[in-house]
Amino acid sequence: MGPLAAARPMTMDERADALEEQMERELERIITKSVLFNLADGKVEMEGGAALQAKHPGKLMLMGEDPRLPKMPDKPTLLDYFRYRFASTNHLLQSATHALKAGLDEKVVLACLLHDVGVVGFIRADHGYWGAQLIEPYVDEEVSWAVRVHQALRFFPDESVGYPYPDLYVKYFGADYEPEPYIKAEYERARNHKWYMTARMICVNDIYSFDPNAKVNIDDFTDIIGRHFKQPKEGLGLDSSPSAHMWRTMMWPTRFL
């Protein structure tokens, strides 16, 4: 680097890129970013294998665990995803604790515990749908159904159980935000469904204002998980359920293929 180049300090972006590149150079394998990760950065792009290997001569593509992420056990359980993959579990634990204290059915408690796994582990957008799909093969149909439709119900008040339209949504989305037609249609369908109240209980126990002092612990729920979540013996994500690949993607998000 010449003196002139050195004179201009790197921008935050350049520094982040340089750091990332340096880290990549130090790693054994070439770590790739899926199109979706790039879309989230506002870029419609993907680097092909040939270009990547040209940039990192002599290196092979990563086809397993990402050394930058916490190591997962050989046969991961739901609890391992709580520990090693979910970015934040406080909201889920507080919701489930709330439901437990209210004396609700264990199925409802589990639904509360898992209602936002889409947000904390996978993809924010349409998180109720992603979350339901993730857990569907492993829980009672009522639980995954409730997780799916909480996506829509949370935008509609139900005064009969003391659930108003969340103040937080006014703050987040503005006073004039209106849900899209598919959300309205989902709500209409759910309102007349036999499991409506299960899904509604997710909203009622959805704690938006976190209590930083609340003591919550995943260990309080191991029995409920044991009774109501069918842990596959091969490990969650290493089984052959219709959503095993989604758990695997959380475990190994940067595999080349």
Interface mask toward Fe ion for 164-203; x: CB under 5 A:
----------------------------------------
What number of chain residues touch Fe ion (CB under 5 A)? 2
Terminal-residue alpha carbon distance, the chain: 36
- Within 10 angstroms of residue 195's Cβ, the number of other Cβ atoms is 16
Report in angstroms how near the CB of residue 173 gets to Fe ion at its nearest.
14
Nearer to Fe ion, 116 or 239 (CB): 116
Nearer to Fe ion, 30 or 92 (CB): 92
Report in angstroms how near the CB of residue 148 gets to Fe ion at its nearest.
11
Partners of 29 in the β-ladder: 60
* 3-state SS, one letter per residue, for 54-108: HHCCCCEECCCCCCCCCCCCCCCCHHHHHHHCCCCCHHHHHHHHHHHHCCCCHHH
Nearer to Fe ion, 202 or 225 (CB): 202
Question: Which stretch, 24-32, 104-112, 138-146, 204-212, contacts Fe ion (CB under 5 A)?
Answer: 204-212
Which member of 32, 107, 153, 206 binds Fe ion (CB under 5 A)?
Answer: 206
Percent of residues in the chain assigned helix, strand, coil, to nearest 5? 55, 0, 45
Nearer to Fe ion, 32 or 89 (CB): 89
Q: Are strands 29-30 and 60-61 parallel, antiparallel or unpaired?
A: parallel
Report in angstroms how near the CB of residue 71 gets to Fe ion at its nearest.
28
Residues 106-145 that bind Fe ion (CB under 5 A): 116
Question: Which stretch, 132-140, 187-195, 205-213, 239-247, contacts Fe ion (CB under 5 A)?
Answer: 205-213
Nearer to Fe ion, 186 or 206 (CB): 206
Measured CA distances, 188 to 100, 154, 192 (Å): 28, 13, 7
Please, are residues 52 and 30 in contact by the beta-carbon 8 Å criterion?
yes
Site of interaction with Fe ion (CB under 5 A): 116, 206
